[in-house]
Amino acid sequence: MSDTSRDYDVVVIGAGPAGENVADRTSAAGLTSVIVENELLGGECSFWACEPSKALLRPVVARTDARRVPGLRRAVEGPLDVPAVFAYRDKMCIYWTDDDQVEWLDSVSVDLVRGHGRLDGPRQVVVETPDGGTLRLNARHAVVVATGTVTAFPDLPGLKEVRPWTNREATSARHVPNRLVVVGGGVVAVEMATAWQALGSRVTMLVRGNAVLSRMEPFAGEMVADALREAGVDLRFGTTVTDVARQDGPDGPVRVGLSQGDPLVADEILFATGRAPHTADLGLETVGLAPGDWLAVDDSYRVSAVEDGWLYAVGDVNHRALMTHQGKYQARMAGAVIGARAKGEPLDDGRWGAHASTADREAVPQVVFTDPDVADVGLTTMEAERTGRNVDVVDFDIGRVAGAVQYAEGYRGKARVLIDRDRGTVVGVTFVGPGVQELLYSATVLITSEAPVERLWHAVPAFPTISEVWLRILETYRDRDRRQTGTAG
């Protein structure tokens, strides 16, 4: 083995949460494993997405909650301490260093190669190293792609010259723009609009459709939109950007042309218009795939279109469920599969529960960290109708629960639970309201375990907590069923 070529059982391209987890699992299975990364270990989530965005949002939401509690309102009347918020954000991102991640890789016996990795035929990865050298990595059993996604920009004249914000600039910026335009209506858009409006920007949101969070239950988007407007965000639906340009030089304000109405002028413009697979420069053409495509996989995360089953893809790049926790789940599953296959072990021996994924299709939990919080898992009403599921929809005003009254004066929230009529199990849950994010795991367990609804009467929520909403939902469902069947109380 020369200095320009190394052999491993498993080669992982990408050291975000998914890549790190799959390398950990294959190493734990006794396979020699190496991970290739050309940026920071920890990836998008640790440095430009989950961690910094939640660090920016936590003071915002905490202040809003405090303003609803008698005795605290005067203490939080003033503006946020922006330097302190930025300092907290920087600390949560470990000041954009990855030394601790490198130490962790060493502790789990995974090698690290810094540089840009590309496929170069079956089981081959070529890495361009920072010193200008080239290193070839030969995989005996598997190559795993965990390169994630990048911002998907619209095709707009002048966009590149404007140097627009993406999630990266929005989560790492060191100044507060006086005027910020946010393009999009998804999770990144509503979270960053929430954060930057509270930090002092005058935020205008441009949404192409007629709702924010359009993939969730409609009431969730409506409640978040109402809160954004109350906070001062100028929210415009049915509006698209037609052109952008910097005025008065490369650092001047941005002129934003619109499909309707007069142009806007802002200091920065953030595009939160979706994600694209980070595969354009990955060497996919050397294994018969198209550069820039998503990598479709089977339920063991093998790339379906590649023969001999040596190529796997985990995390956002496979387009199954674009969330960090789901990517880590996929990595755990894929790592177990790769280890079992390398040793010739059966995949259905029951020791791992199953070597086939289910959680990224049937019970995908998601939280939107706005005010109010949005937490959902499983089917929405629209998805149930589209797939022909026979469901009962049970709604309840969370503000009527004693725990919610204790949590905040004037609490506004809503719960929706979908119950499969034929099987008597919960198949979808959506909570909207302050503090509901911690209710989500119980809903996820309920859907995953397929527990009969009648058993939930014996799962007693503590008083007074917001989790009592589960009891109220059961009572609402029972009472409605009695009215429909004519059963006496």
Q: Each residue of 402-411: pLDDT tens digit?
A: 999 999 999 9
Please report which confidence band the pLDDT of residue 345 belongs to, taking 50, 70 and 90 as the band edges: confident
Strands (E), 341-432: 366-368, 374-378, 391-397, 414-420, 425-432
- Domains of the chain with bracketed CATH: 5-42+98-150+277-359 (3.50.50.60), 159-273 (3.50.50.60), 372-482 (3.30.390.30)
- Tell me which H or E stretch contains 9: strand 5-13
Percent share of the chain, pLDDT over 70 = 97
**pLDDT value for 355:** 61
| CA 285 – CA 417 distance, rounded (Å) | 45
Inform me whether the pLDDT recorded for 489 exceeds 50: no
Instruction: Supply the Cα-derived Rg of the chain in whole angstroms.
Output: 24
- Residue-wise pLDDT for 225-252, tens only, equals 999 999 999 999 999 999 999 998 888 9
Amino acid type, 406: Q
Backbone angles phi, psi at 33, to 5 degrees: -135, 145
Inform me whether the pLDDT recorded for 466 exceeds 80: yes
Is 205:185 a contact under the CB 8 Å cutoff? yes
Region of residue 388 (left: phi > 0; alpha: psi -120 to 50; beta: else): left
| CA 59 – CA 200 distance, rounded (Å) | 13
Q: Please state whether the peptide bond connecting residue 79 to the residue before it is cis, i.e. omega within 30 degrees of 0.
A: no
- Tell me which H or E stretch contains 34: strand 33-37
| CA 30 – CA 260 distance, rounded (Å) | 60
| pTM metric for this prediction | 0.94
Can you list the alpha helix ranges (DSSP code H) found in 343-388? 359-362, 381-386
Is 391:384 a contact under the CB 8 Å cutoff? yes
**pLDDT value for 352:** 44
